[in-house]
Every structure is written in C-alpha cells, then in structure tokens.
Chains A and B, each alone.
Chain A
Amino acid sequence: MLSIKYKNIFFVFLPEKKEEKTVGRLIEHIHELYPSYSILVINDSSTDNTQAIVKQKEFCNLINLPQNLGIGGAVQTGFIYAVRNRFSYIVQLDSDGQHNPDDIKKLLDPLIKNESDVTIGSRFCGKGSSYNPGIARKTGINIISFFSWILTGKRITDCTSGFRAYNKEAISFLSEYYPIDYPEPEAIIMLARNSFRLTEVPVLMQKRLAGKSSISFRRGTTYYMFKVVLGMIMTSIRPKTRNHGKH
C-alpha cells in the first residue's frame, strides 16, 4: 500500500488554482512514461480539488504547504525533499499542462550523460519553434534574456521557462537558497555565476490547457519586470557561494 518507492528521479508540479483538470491527466501521462519514478506534487495551499485528485493516485506523493509561499518557496520545498531523500535528478514541470511529458527524456539525457548540471526546456531555441507568445510577452522575455546575457555571458532564450531538470549538485545548491517571487530568471544567474553548466533544450509548449501564467502581462507587468531585473542584478553582484569552479 505504501506508495513511496524512492527512485532516483522525481517530478515536481505546482498545482495552482483552476489547474485541477490538467493535473490528473499530466500525472497519469508521466506515470505511463516513467512507471518506476517518484512523482511529487507540491500544493502551494491552493483550495481547489487538486489535493483530492492527487491523493487518489497511489504512485503520487503530495506535499501540502500550510501557507502560500509563491512558486519559489514551493519549488524549493521540492529541492529540500530531494536532498533529504537523496534523489539524483529532479524534473520540474508546471501543472497547467503546458509542458509535454514526452520531452522529459530530452531534459534528462544531458544530465545523465553528465554533460550538463541543469537543463531548461526552451520554447524559442531550435528549429520549428512556432510558439508565439504575443508581442508584449515576447518583449518581456527578450529583455530578461538580454539582461541574463549581459550578466552571465550566456545566451538563454527562454529564461522564464519553468520546465527544467536538475542534477544532484544543482539540487543541493538550490535547496540552500532559491528566490521566492518569479524565481526562474534569477535562478539562471545564480547557477551560472556559481559555474553550473546550463543547457537549453528545445521543447514544444502545448497551449495552456487551464489556468493562467504566473506572469500576468497586463497587471503587475511593471512590478514583474523591475523585480526580476533587480533580482538578476543583485544576484550577479553577490559573492559566489560555491567555490570549486569545475570548468
């Protein structure tokens, strides 16, 4: 009956409001593809049916946070869990059905071959990326990408993508500190500054089946842009916390 079999790979989802329909389908899809892997759902104190849906599935582990911590705080919970249970890899996906589980292999391969420490599923790199986010969103992403290029010297085309995979070292590094609000671009700077190897992998994004982007590009856009850019700049002028540069 006990559902937890500690395998070395697991997945983090962050169900948010109105994503209850997609979560169940997504979990089943992943379980079909990777039946022996552990699946972890982190519920950032959302009040919908996510909890009930996830609880029905025996192969799925659910962590309920007592307070809403924001994406960063919830993802970090996954990192801490992974460190304590000695997981080797984490794949992080959004629960809105935007990320296709079929792409998980593409993200994990570079990690397993030890060619990279973190892989990011990008909507924009690679051929045939037909994803069109609209002008406002694209401009925002370009500005963030531009800053991350200036601050790290790395070309990351999709800094805001939450479809990522991490190896053991990156997990333990991020479990120590992870930004709270809109953490993705800042995490890239943190990782690059501490000489982790980042690789972008082209993935196809599905149209959001439910829910909304955590980045609302109408309301709060200005706050989002300033917060992210400030966070990136501050991160890049903080002292490095990981000393042994391997490369």
Chain B
Amino acid sequence: MESIENVNIFKMQIIAIAGSILLFLFILYLVRKKRIKEEYSLLWIFFGAVFIVFSFWRQGLDYLASLIGVAYPPTAILLILLMAVFIILIQFSIIISRLSETNKTLCQEIGLLKFEIENLKKEIKKPNS
C-alpha cells in the first residue's frame, strides 16, 4: 500500500506545476493584450519562471533550502513567495509615487494654462468692445 505522504506530495507537485504554468501563461496573456505593460510585467514573469522551475525540480528546492539554512524545504518556497510579493509591492509604491507626482505636475500645468487662455480671450475681446 502506498503511503499517504507520497500520494500527497505527488498531487501537490502536479498542482504546483499546473498552477505556476497557468500563472505564467496568464501574465503573458495580459502582456499580449496590453493590459500589463512590458516594463511592469518583468518581475511577474521572473517570479513566475522561478515557481515553474521549483515545481518541476524538487531537489533544487532541497538544495536551496540547505543553502540558506532552512530545515524544512517547503518553507523555502514560502520564503521566495513572500520575497516576490514584497518586491512587487514595493515596485507598486514606486510607480504610484511617480504617477502622483506626474499627476500633480499635470494638474498645475492645466490650471496655469486655463488661466492663460482666459486672459488671452479677454485680450482678444478688448478691441471689439
């Protein structure tokens, strides 16, 4: 009789492979549809690839875990996942800050331009009246 542990790990690996490939394809699909810009998809593609690699190559995960001193290899994958989420979120904060700065500059410029246009209009009307 097969041990329950083996069955679970095998299933888990299939799910992990399917999941990471789906994630990877989903990201590529979004980039192809121009829903995500290339420059913002780089981190997603990179970490998607990392997950695919480790879902196929279990020894690699064991090796990585021993390399960074993690006793229980599956924890290493959680570590990578957390790192990926953190890095991507920090990238979001950078992008949001940049967007709010350009948005502010645009608003100021629009305000100033509207003001100038109204003055020009007044000036044009002046000789007629």
Contact = CB atoms under 8 A, between A and B. Distances in A.
Interface string B88-129: 000000000000000110011011101100010011011001
Given A1-B129, A64-B114, A77 B108 contact: yes
Contact of A76 (B103, B108, B114): B108
A140 interface: no
B119 A2 contact: yes
A73 B122 contact: no
A42 B107 CA distance: 12
Interface residues of B, number: 15
A1 B126 contact: yes
Contacts of A180: 104
A61 interface: yes
B107 to A, nearest CB: 5
A69 B122 contact: no
A67 B122 contact: no
A73 B107 contact: yes
Contact of A69 (B108, B115, B126): B108
Nearest to B108: A77
Given A61-B115, A77-B112, A67 B126 contact: no
A73 B104 CA distance: 7
Interface string A1-13: 1111000000000
Given A73-B107, A180-B104, A80 B123 contact: no
B119 to A, nearest CB: 6
A65 B111 contact: yes
A34 interface: no
A210 interface: no
Interface in A33-79: 42, 61-67, 69, 73, 76-77
Contacts of A4: 119
Nearest to B125: A1
A239 B119 CA distance: 40
Contacts of A80: 108, 112
A224 interface: no
B104 A69 contact: yes
A84 B110 CA distance: 15
Given A61-B115, A77-B111, A77-B112, A67 B103 contact: yes
B103 to A, nearest CB: 7
A146 interface: no
A80 B122 CA distance: 22
Contacts of A62: 115
Given A2-B122, A2-B126, A63 B107 contact: no
A77 B110 CA distance: 10
Interface of B: 103-104, 107-108, 110-112, 114-115, 119, 122-123, 125-126, 129
6 contacts: A63-B114, A64-B115, A69-B104, A73-B108, A77-B108, A77-B112
Pairs of residues from A and B, 7 with the lowest C-beta to C-beta distance, nearest first: A65-B111, A77-B108, A63-B115, A67-B107, A63-B111, A73-B104, A66-B110
Given A64-B115, A67-B103, A73-B104, 13 more contacts: A1-B125, A2-B123, A2-B126, A3-B122, A62-B115, A64-B111, A65-B110, A69-B108, A73-B107, A76-B108, A81-B112, A81-B115, A84-B112
